[in-house]
Amino acid sequence: MVVKRSYHHGDLRRALVMAAREVLVERGPEGVSLRGTVAKVGASTAAPYRHFRDKDALLVAVALEGHAELQGRLRGCGPGTVTALGQSYLGFALENPALYRLMVGAGIGDRAAYPELGDAHRETFALLADRVGERTDPDGFAITLWCLLHGLATLAIDGHVERDSAVEEAERSLALLGQARP
């Protein structure tokens, strides 16, 4: 008689996302695979398909987690604290370069197939726009701020600007933006 052992991981979805995030940091999005991620958590090869239809779906879950973390940091900034917003955003990107790149475009094939990812981008922007405070054009100011922060983060991650210089440049640029009150 063959005894079939049941396998129960607990929160397998969460474990897979955490494992994929570790692999993302170590090897980039190209290094993430469902097979490798499931091996890392010690589950059966069929187990991840109960939670993710493919590698992109797993990477989207990781990116959504990143957006939630970034949004949490931005929520910690009071309204009108442009410098604090910049420091929080840039700090997140520089502390999590692989995750940040995944969130903003690298490694996920057909991003349009995952509307929740677009929703997360819009929520992050809406939060940024909400925190810029009273301005003549808060959405325009928020776009300008987002462009500045994204550009500095990307330049620093790519090694074109020193990390310390990026933070200093962000503070200087944000101070100039902060002076641009109506």
With respect to residue 5, please indicate whether it lies within any of the assigned structural domains: no
Residue owning tokens 């990390």? 163
pLDDT at 172: 83
Q: How many CB atoms lie within 10 A of CB 26?
A: 10
For 140, the domain range is 12-179
Q: Where are the beta strands (DSSP E) in the chain?
A: none
pLDDT at 102: 96
With respect to residue 1, please indicate whether it lies within any of the assigned structural domains: no
With respect to residue 76, please indicate whether it lies within any of the assigned structural domains: yes
With respect to residue 100, please indicate whether it lies within any of the assigned structural domains: yes
With respect to residue 108, please indicate whether it lies within any of the assigned structural domains: yes
Number of structural domains (the chain) is 1
Q: What is the pLDDT along the chain (182 residues), one digit of tens a residue?
A: 544 444 455 788 999 999 999 999 999 999 999 989 988 998 888 888 889 999 999 999 999 999 999 999 999 998 878 888 888 999 999 999 999 999 998 889 888 999 999 999 999 999 998 888 877 788 888 898 899 999 999 999 999 988 878 878 877 887 776 665 55
SS3 content of the chain, % helix, strand, coil (to 5): 70, 0, 30
pLDDT at 23: 95
pLDDT at 139: 84
pLDDT at 3: 40
pLDDT at 2: 46
